[in-house]
C-alpha cells in the first residue's frame, strides 16, 4: 500500500518545474501590467504637455502668472511666452529705427550712397586755350547786345588746371544745373606787343564783362572791370590783368559767360586767363 501511494504523487522534479513555470508566468504578467500602466501614464503626460504648449500660443491657457512667483517663472509655458514677447519687441524696435531713418533720408532727398560719399561738389574752373581760331566771337553775332567780344573757347579738362563738376560748358558758357548762390570769378590777361608808330597815341582801354543768360532774351550784365593804360613808346611789350568776382543767385539752365574789349590783346595762357564758378549755398 505504501509503495502504491508514493508512486501515485508528483515527483520532486515535476514540482520544481511547475514552480519555475508559475514564477515565469507571474513575472511576465507583472511586466505586462507594468508596461501597460507606464505606457498609459506617458501618453497622458504627453497629451497634457502638448495641449499646454499649444495653449500657450492659442491663448487657451488662462491661468495667471505672477512675475514674483518662482513657480510661475519656472513654468515652461510662461518662459516660451516671455521669450517670444522679447523677440517680437526686438523686431519691432529694429523695424521702427529703419523706418525712421528711411523717412529722414527721403525728407532730405539724400540717398544712402550719396550720404556715404558726402555732398556733391558743384564747381567749375576753366582756363584759356592757345592756338584756337574761334577763341573770340564776332561783335555782330547773337551776343550783339552784350558789350565786348565773348570768349568762346575755354579748356575744361586740362589735368591739374581745369575741371567741370556738375556744371556744363557749351559755346564758352557755363550752364547751371542747380539753383543757388554762386561765386563767379574771371581773370583776363592782356599783352601788348604791337609796333609803335611815331606821333600816335598809344593808350588802350581794357574792359572785362561777365554776363548771364536767363529766360529773358537779352543777356544781363553781372560785373564789369576796366583799366586804362598808356604804354611807353619805348616799351617792347606791356602786361596787365583784370580780375573780378562776386556772389550771385543763379537758377537752373542759366548761362554765364565772359566778354572783353580789345580782344586782339588777350593772351589766353591757361595760367593767366581763366573763368569759374562754384556753389556756396
Report the C-alpha gap between 281 and 12 in whole angstroms: 121
Q: Phi and psi for 33 in degrees, rounded to 5?
A: -65, -45
CB atoms within 10 A of CB 222: 15
Report the C-alpha gap between 205 and 221 in whole angstroms: 19
Report the C-alpha gap between 210 and 176 in whole angstroms: 15
* Binding site residue list: 230
Q: Are 183 and 172 in contact, with CB atoms under 8 Å apart?
A: no
129: region left, alpha or beta (phi > 0 left; psi from -120 to 50 alpha): beta
* Binding site residue list for Zn(2+): 230
Report the C-alpha gap between 212 and 11 in whole angstroms: 137
Alpha helices in the chain (DSSP H): 2-8, 12-58, 70-73, 76-107, 112-117
Amino acid at each position: 500500500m505504501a509503495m502504491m501511494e508514493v508512486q501515485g504523487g508528483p515527483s520532486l522534479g515535476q514540482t520544481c518545474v511547475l514552480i519555475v513555470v508559475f514564477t515565469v508566468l507571474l513575472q511576465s504578467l507583472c511586466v505586462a501590467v507594468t508596461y501597460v500602466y507606464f505606457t498609459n501614464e506617458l501618453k497622458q503626460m504627453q497629451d497634457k504637455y502638448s495641449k499646454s504648449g499649444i495653449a500657450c500660443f492659442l491663448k487657451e491657457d488662462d491661468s495667471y502668472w505672477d512675475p514674483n512667483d518662482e513657480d510661475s517663472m519656472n513654468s515652461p509655458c510662461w518662459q516660451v511666452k516671455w521669450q517670444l514677447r522679447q523677440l517680437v519687441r526686438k523686431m519691432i524696435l529694429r523695424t521702427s529705427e529703419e523706418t525712421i531713418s528711411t523717412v529722414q533720408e527721403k525728407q532730405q532727398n539724400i540717398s544712402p550712397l550719396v550720404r556715404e560719399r558726402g555732398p556733391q561738389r558743384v564747381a567749375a574752373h576753366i582756363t584759356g586755350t592757345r592756338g584756337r581760331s574761334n577763341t573770340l566771337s564776332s561783335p555782330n553775332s547773337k551776343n550783339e547786345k552784350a558789350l565786348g567780344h565773348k570768349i568762346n573757347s575755354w579748356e575744361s579738362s586740362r589735368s591739374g588746371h581745369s575741371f567741370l563738376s556738375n556744371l556744363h560748358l557749351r559755346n564758352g558758357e557755363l550752364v547751371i544745373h542747380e539753383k543757388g548762390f554762386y561765386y563767379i570769378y574771371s581773370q583776363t590777361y592782356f599783352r601788348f606787343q604791337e609796333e609803335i608808330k611815331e606821333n600816335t597815341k598809344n593808350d588802350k582801354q581794357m574792359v572785362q564783362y561777365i554776363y548771364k543768360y536767363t529766360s529773358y532774351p537779352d543777356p544781363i550784365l553781372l560785373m564789369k572791370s576796366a583799366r586804362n593804360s598808356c604804354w611807353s613808346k619805348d616799351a617792347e611789350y606791356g602786361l596787365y590783368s583784370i580780375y573780378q568776382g562776386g556772389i550771385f543767385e543763379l537758377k537752373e539752365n542759366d548761362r554765364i559767360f565772359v566778354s572783353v574789349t580789345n580782344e586782339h590783346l588777350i593772351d589766353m595762357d591757361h595760367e593767366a586767363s581763366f573763368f569759374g564758378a562754384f556753389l556756396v549755398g
